[in-house]
Chain A
């Protein structure tokens, strides 16, 4: 290497450039395939103080390094976004996020697309339950529905109105009526040309189900039935003719009702009857079709027992149960729920129906069920819940706030006697800002208050619900 003359800077620069070029040529000959660029960069820096202008190759190297850094940054960003999308959490239904305007907007758009009318939210909402729908009872939810072929089937409209007006109540009745209406829908259904039955039928069912949901929130039994329906529709083989497929579907749905409701009722009655002995005083709450059947069956076997019917406002469904039992000849007493702890010392067993059984063993029933169970447990009276296996759901709930159905508060304000008017007049209620009325429909009872659950699979402890769900998923 030529030693640079320190005194003369311009000469020194030229000398540097020459020596650098020589070095590069040497290195190219000696190290072929090496990372020569980095070595050249290193050789540039060996000269102290001299800031040599970077050559083209070095600039290219820098640009390449920048590009790769940017690419790496981009992929990192994408990964983080994907992670954050996943980390958004479990999917919560729009029905439980009524206080979130964004979610409600989306849900409203969806309903518009399906041509389903929407219900209006009430004016006076209870803030603790603002995450749930609190509807106002409208004159008619169906006044804007047309009868075009793309609209909702009239059998479904009729069913929705029956649900909304409270003509069909009780989970078994609602489920059976739903299957019946869907059978009508399938019978009248015709696949449009160039579309497949399995896929198009499902798209026909979706608006129907949304409409029914708007009329009255779906019950656990209906949810189970709809799941079964969807599985059966997807399993239709594509080479089957439309008529045959429709026939099979209809018979499948009717078989579902027959097996899970009618036959299960008989099986449960047989097991539950063995738990009623002579001299028993059986307490029931409200009106459950299954419990009435069990008591009738037990009475027919000649057992000597009497029944205490506990009732709750505003539905007063216990009166219906009372009528059925008295007609069968069973001795009955009738109390309101406020007297349940008064009557409990006389009672030997409590039989309750259920709206649904949750995976953690909690029982969802009409509001008041948990009160009766707790009062019974406090006095050591065994509580027996009778529930068909199709009402077992995979949901988990530990309290009655998270998910519930809120009814029309005006029902609570009206009294039963026709002579006296309502408790508060309509305009007085509207003007009183500090008064809010809450009408809850369901409540949730923990498993430690129940002695057993009787299903068609036998008598089980409440904690065995996940086992039953597992067994049933093997069968389907």
Chain B
């Protein structure tokens, strides 16, 4: 599969709104694996790594999760040493492992929903930021179990994805109000809990999320409101930023912007980094974790 085919397949998968970008990337990689014509294991892995590079440089909503998801997929399928002679058998094993990984990863959202339900109490007021599929899923489940709650969503410029989230929540019959990004401090008095998604979870338990999450977390902390992050385990990335400037450019800006060679000092970054001291709990499919437990889980995943 050459680069254009990969990019084309990936963009096709992205058109399904319900699919997370990372899962689309993993499906693309699985397809690459099935169609690959390499004769040796190292050749196959080399081709897959190149495919991953193509995916990371394709325009999508969440480059961080694509990068982390692909890394984990490649690690998972090559986990143990394969000492069989027949390469076809090796390839079959890799493909079956890949399908198993994809299956596990597709069930992440349901697990998070189960774990996240107790945190939405009857009569609570929730504040969320921008459009997150996981948060929408959890709120949908809570509404279906007859809990009464109301939601405030920030508009989240520049792409105004908050409006899309509000539309989605209205379809689930949840009372929702869209607020300006600048009004998050004003509204926090009324709010009981802050629920946000994440594009990536870094090694110290901090998160990378749509721009505006950092100041939302700062305000919530100042007013002693708990901040809960809902993230799947394939978003855990082996990266440790020291501050906002330490984030690599490929996470902050869209791939097309980087390709154009634009002047980055006047470009607006699309994500920011929230340090772990501002996050109360991370609700993942590996369980409900404190930020310091994320490092433990990452070591387990990658060792």
Distance in angstroms from B130 CB to nearest chain A CB is 27
- How many chain B residues touch A (Cβ–Cβ < 8 Å)? 14
Which residues does chain A contribute within 8 Å of B205, judged by CB atoms? 461
Distance in angstroms from A440 CB to nearest chain B CB is 30
Residue B292 contacts which of A451, A452, A461 (CB distance < 8 angstroms)? A461
- Is B183 interfacial (CB-CB < 8 Å)? no
Of all chain A residues, the one with the shortest Cβ separation from B293 is A463
Distance in angstroms from B136 CB to nearest chain A CB is 31
Would you call the interface of chain A mostly helix, strand, loop, or mixed?
Answer: mixed
Within 8 A of B (CB), among A31-57: none
Question: A458-B238, A461-B204 are contacts. A471–B292 as well, Cβ < 8 Å?
Answer: no
Within 8 A of B (CB), among A58-96: none
Within 8 A of B (CB), among A427-476: 451-452, 457-461, 463-464, 467-468, 471
Question: A461-B292, A463-B295 are contacts. A349–B203 as well, Cβ < 8 Å?
Answer: no
Count CB-based A-B contacts (< 8 Å).
37
Distance in angstroms from B275 CB to nearest chain A CB is 9
Q: Is the CB of B296 within 8 A of A349?
A: no
Within 8 A of A (CB), among B161-212: 203-205
Which residues does chain A contribute within 8 Å of B103, judged by CB atoms? none
- Is B87 interfacial (CB-CB < 8 Å)? no
Which residues does chain B contribute within 8 Å of A461, judged by CB atoms? 203-205, 276, 292, 295
Which residues does chain B contribute within 8 Å of A468, judged by CB atoms? 299
Residue B242 contacts which of A382, A460, A463, A464 (CB distance < 8 angstroms)? A382
Q: Is the CB of B240 within 8 A of A464?
A: no
Within 8 A of A (CB), among B239-288: 240, 242-243, 246, 276
Of all chain A residues, the one with the shortest Cβ separation from B240 is A459
- Is A275 interfacial (CB-CB < 8 Å)? yes
A460 to B295, CA, bound (A): 7
Which residues does chain B contribute within 8 Å of A464, judged by CB atoms? 292, 295-296, 299
- Is B84 interfacial (CB-CB < 8 Å)? no
Residue from A461, A463, A467, A468 having most chain B Cβ neighbours under 10 A: A461
- Is B303 interfacial (CB-CB < 8 Å)? yes
Distance in angstroms from B97 CB to nearest chain A CB is 24
Which residues does chain B contribute within 8 Å of A349, judged by CB atoms? 242
Which residues does chain A contribute within 8 Å of B238, judged by CB atoms? 458
A452 to B204, CA, bound (A): 8
Question: A459-B203, A460-B203, A461-B205 are contacts. A452–B242 as well, Cβ < 8 Å?
Answer: yes
Q: Is the CB of B292 within 8 A of A463?
A: yes
**How extensive is the interface on chain A, given as a class?**
10 to 19
Distance in angstroms from B246 CB to nearest chain A CB is 8
Of all chain B residues, the one with the shortest Cβ separation from A464 is B295
Q: Is the CB of B295 within 8 A of A452?
A: no
A382 to B292, CA, bound (A): 18
Q: Is the CB of A467 within 8 A of B240?
A: no
Of all chain B residues, the one with the shortest Cβ separation from A467 is B296
Q: Is the CB of B240 within 8 A of A452?
A: yes
Which residues does chain A contribute within 8 Å of B203, judged by CB atoms? 458-461
Which residues does chain A contribute within 8 Å of B299, judged by CB atoms? 457, 464, 467-468, 471
A468 to B298, CA, bound (A): 12
A461 to B292, CA, bound (A): 8
Which residues does chain A contribute within 8 Å of B295, judged by CB atoms? 460-461, 463-464, 467
A457 to B204, CA, bound (A): 14
Which residues does chain B contribute within 8 Å of A382, judged by CB atoms? 242-243
A460 to B246, CA, bound (A): 16
Of all chain A residues, the one with the shortest Cβ separation from B204 is A461
A349 to B241, CA, bound (A): 13
A463 to B204, CA, bound (A): 9
Distance in angstroms from A19 CB to nearest chain B CB is 81
Distance in angstroms from A187 CB to nearest chain B CB is 37
Question: A382-B242, A458-B238, A460-B295 are contacts. A471–B303 as well, Cβ < 8 Å?
Answer: yes
Of all chain B residues, the one with the shortest Cβ separation from A451 is B242
Distance in angstroms from A432 CB to nearest chain B CB is 48
Which residues does chain A contribute within 8 Å of B204, judged by CB atoms? 452, 460-461
A349 to B299, CA, bound (A): 26
Of all chain B residues, the one with the shortest Cβ separation from A468 is B299
Distance in angstroms from A222 CB to nearest chain B CB is 27
Within 8 A of B (CB), among A153-178: none
A140 to B247, CA, bound (A): 56
A421 to B295, CA, bound (A): 54
A256 to B204, CA, bound (A): 30
Which residues does chain B contribute within 8 Å of A452, judged by CB atoms? 204, 240, 242
Which residues does chain B contribute within 8 Å of A457, judged by CB atoms? 299
Of all chain A residues, the one with the shortest Cβ separation from B276 is A461
A257 to B299, CA, bound (A): 25
Interface string of A360-388 (1 = CB under 8 A from B): 00000000000000000000001010000
Distance in angstroms from A393 CB to nearest chain B CB is 19
Interface string of A314-351 (1 = CB under 8 A from B): 00000000000000000000000000000000000100
Distance in angstroms from A376 CB to nearest chain B CB is 12
A459 to B204, CA, bound (A): 9
Distance in angstroms from A277 CB to nearest chain B CB is 8
Starting from the known contacts A461-B205, A471-B299, 4 additional A-B residue pairs (CB-CB under 8 Å) come to A349-B242, A451-B242, A460-B295, A461-B295
A-B contact list, 8 entries, CB within 8 Å: A275-B242, A275-B246, A452-B240, A460-B204, A461-B203, A467-B295, A467-B299, A471-B303
Binding site for A on B (CB under 8 A): 203-205, 238, 240, 242-243, 246, 276, 292, 295-296, 299, 303
Please name the 8 residue pairs, one residue from A and one from B, whose CB atoms are nearest each other, closest first: A463-B292, A461-B204, A459-B240, A464-B295, A382-B242, A467-B296, A461-B295, A467-B299
